Structure 1
């Protein structure tokens, strides 16, 4: 089943500080959607609301047209706020912990290690992994159970150029068969190659949401990003 995710007039404050202001956009299956913004723009808060880690002050999140409920998480694979593993356990053992929690067959461990390019190092302890290998392990963990919705926070961090290309190809392949894929990224040059749709946040508000080609038809995403996220940037939806 394919799932459309929509944020409808979502706002969130922490004390007097409004982090998200009337966020309204949708993420459709079949296309990679990139969430962009400078540090502090509200990307992590938006992800946390979708994953049920925070509650919105107002507005609603819908999945397939139905207001969000905890059952949604049965269809979600996510990696947010940096990878967190048991350092004394091997990569495979870390994943086995999650297969047992999720009620998945242990064969899932080998499947996702292969997808993430970690088959040959599955027996190595996670604490020995480089930043790029930890990023791959986080991706493997998110892919357990072949979730229909994939939420990834800066998944390219630490990857070498080959790893970035492999990740791009994987995410585009997942989207092409109907998965809903949303990633946050600061790597604007890679976003041009990866995503079909983008949403740009600045100071908790949407400055643009729509097809990448409509905003930057010649690939000039960096220039448009800085224009829209400047203090006097205009809203362009």
Structure 2
């Protein structure tokens, strides 16, 4: 089942085309990352889904039906950090948030425990670390136990400790069965917490789907022998080898399928070339992303 289905969503601000015909589906139970640099249209897209903004064209469905008020009440949204009162405790701030959202105040203890803040429930907000403040913001989103969470850049502006805290919390929420739609410009965040991703660039959807399919990171092998030129020429004869290039004092070989280092070593020896180095490596996520965005920009 798809929690959210977007069909041809477009939005323009004057001469700026913020979104252009964006379509994708968010599967139930996924952590779906909307990935792109600042200005790519991520926040605009989330604003449309949460009814803060209106699309110029296109439509979307929630839970397989129209985007009704009843459907939106199943969604918890964090588009910007709430304006908590610095001199009030976490508990008092959530009481105010519950009143505004018309959620039950009897849910406050539960969400504070989920977010690891129950022991600090009576402490003033101003004494919280950045990570704790963001976890309290997520606690506010969890009031009423929504099925779906929409989080816009939840780790933005946090220090490394705060980033780690929020990522662990997001993973725990996903493990509990929540569907999470998460906008981010951080590749590392997508790799560590997301199951699916849609990549936006200047309002255009480049690709969407499972992370390991969209951001393909094919294995490659670094090798060395007494004669690297001869080794490179030999490797081009190896089944499924798609390229072999001498780089510095080694040969970098790529393959159409996942390579088997032991089989390659044995094959080279059988051809009279003894390897001095053989190491399986993987393309970095950053390289895969840059290759995708660069190709799409051409």
**TM-score, scaled to structure 2:** 0.71
Kindly provide the CA deviation profile for residues 26-61 of structure 1, in whole angstroms up to 9, marking residues without a partner as x. Answer: 101111111100000000001111111100000001
The answer to whether structure 1 residue 121 and structure 2 residue 88 are counterparts is no
Between the aligned partners of 2:173 and 2:105, the Cα distance in structure 1 is 23
Structure with higher Rg: it is 2
> Partner residue of 2:248?
none
Higher relative contact order (CA 8 A, sep 6+): 1
> Partner residue of 2:234?
none
> Partner residue of 1:79?
78
Measured after TM superposition, the shift of residue 109 of structure 1 is: 0.8
Residues 69, 112 of structure 1: alpha-carbon distance in 2 compared, 3 angstrom cutoff: same
Tell me if the contact between 1:32 and 1:171 (Cα under 8 Å) persists in the aligned partners: no
> Partner residue of 1:5?
4
> Partner residue of 2:195?
196
Tell me if the contact between 1:44 and 1:81 (Cα under 8 Å) persists in the aligned partners: no
Tell me if the contact between 1:215 and 1:224 (Cα under 8 Å) persists in the aligned partners: no
Measured after TM superposition, the shift of residue 3 of structure 1 is: 5.8
- Matching residue within 160, 163, 170 for 2:165: 163
The answer to whether structure 1 residue 32 and structure 2 residue 31 are counterparts is yes
Between the aligned partners of 1:207 and 1:146, the Cα distance in structure 2 is 33
Between the aligned partners of 2:167 and 2:18, the Cα distance in structure 1 is 33
Kindly provide the CA deviation profile for residues 192-231 of structure 1, in whole angstroms up to 9, marking residues without a partner as x. Answer: 121111001000010110111113344743222223334x
Q: How do 1:57-72 and structure 2 match up within 5 A?
A: 57-72=56-71
Tell me if the contact between 2:2 and 2:25 (Cα under 8 Å) persists in the aligned partners: no
Kindly provide the CA deviation profile for residues 129-160 of structure 1, in whole angstroms up to 9, marking residues without a partner as x. Answer: 22211111111111111101110112234261
> Partner residue of 1:96?
95
Between the aligned partners of 1:6 and 1:129, the Cα distance in structure 2 is 38
Residues 6, 136 of structure 1: alpha-carbon distance in 2 compared, 3 angstrom cutoff: same
Residues 205, 15 of structure 1: alpha-carbon distance in 2 compared, 3 angstrom cutoff: same
Number of aligned residue pairs: 230
Q: Which runs of 5+ in 1 are unaligned?
A: none
Q: Which runs of 5+ in 2 are unaligned?
A: 218-282
Residues 145, 154 of structure 1: alpha-carbon distance in 2 compared, 3 angstrom cutoff: same
Between the aligned partners of 1:22 and 1:165, the Cα distance in structure 2 is 31
> Partner residue of 1:233?
296
- Which stretch shows the higher mean deviation, 71-80 or 35-44? 71-80
Measured after TM superposition, the shift of residue 164 of structure 1 is: 4.3
How well do the aligned residues superpose, as a CA RMSD in angstroms? Answer: 2.2
Residues 3, 147 of structure 1: alpha-carbon distance in 2 compared, 3 angstrom cutoff: farther
Residues 95, 164 of structure 1: alpha-carbon distance in 2 compared, 3 angstrom cutoff: closer
Residues 208, 220 of structure 1: alpha-carbon distance in 2 compared, 3 angstrom cutoff: farther
- Which stretch shows the higher mean deviation, 141-150 or 105-114? 105-114
